[in-house]
Chain A
Amino acid sequence: HLVESGGGVVRPGESLRISCEASGFILGSYSMSWVRQVPGKGLEWVSGISSGSTSKYYAESVKGRFTISRDNADNSLYLEMNSLRPEDTALYYCARTTSYFDYIDYWGQGTLVTVSS
């Protein structure tokens, strides 16, 4: 299971950290990703992190503003989002990914982030 939390309503320019708690498997054995979806629109891969945190990847739209991290001992994944914009409004999914980001085999139910003044 993957359970996201931390979503909410924030104003443009503010920051927010969302979390994902994993259960039923050892988080440290997998790469992980965040994928977002604007309601009614398609999927956008936001960021990914390797199992040991040595490699981190970001979509161009969030590079320099978002930071992905993980705590394998705590079985948790995080996404720190700074300088939020209205276009960041979306449902953010936590997703278990293969080592080389070939595919996503498990998805959480998502946490909604709304950026609005």
Chain B
Amino acid sequence: QSVLTQPPSVSAAPGQKVTISCVGSTSNIGNNYVSWYQQLAGTAPKLLIFDNNRRPSGIPDRVSGSKSGTSATLDITGLQAGDEAHYYCATWDGSLTRMVFGGGTKLTVL
């Protein structure tokens, strides 16, 4: 059971928008920055969003993140076949004194 809760799967058609949620608590998301990672099949994870809503260089602006209270959200608009992957949220948990990940969400582009 992951400390951060994500939906196991989401799907949408090409060109559409998808939203992935990440629910935590005051000991983690409520008091720390959230980051998001994309993991394509057979590859290492890649940073998509850091500090709740900032994109590293090279990540397109159709990818965005937000945080409200103890929940965070990753939005991807203009879906492409290449977006099909697993997505993970993560943050620091002050009570557990460790980084925690969500269980991951598999995005399927229909």
A residues with a Cβ closer than 8 A to B are 33, 35, 42-45, 48, 57-60, 93, 97, 100-110
Contacts and interface: CB of A to CB of B under 8 A. Distances in A.
Contacts, number: 65
A107 B46 contact: yes
B35 A107 contact: no
Contacts of B96: 60
A104 B32 CA distance: 14
Interface residues of B, number: 27
B44 A101 contact: no
A57 B93 CA distance: 11
B92 to A, nearest CB: 5
A101 B70 CA distance: 18
Nearest to A110: B44
Interface string B30-58: 00110101010000111100110000100
B50 A102 contact: yes
Most chain A CB neighbours (cut-off 10 Å) among B32, B47, B56, B102: B47
A101 B92 contact: yes
A9 to B, nearest CB: 21
Pick the 8 closest A-B CB pairs, nearest first.
A103-B35, A45-B99, A107-B44, A103-B50, A42-B104, A43-B101, A102-B33, A101-B92
A97 B90 CA distance: 12
Nearest to B33: A102
Interface string B6-44: 000000000000000000000000001101010100001
Contacts of B2: 42
B35 to A, nearest CB: 4
A78 to B, nearest CB: 19
A105 B47 contact: yes
Given A43-B101, A58-B98, A100-B92, 10 more contacts: A42-B104, A48-B98, A101-B99, A102-B33, A102-B35, A102-B50, A104-B37, A105-B50, A106-B47, A109-B44
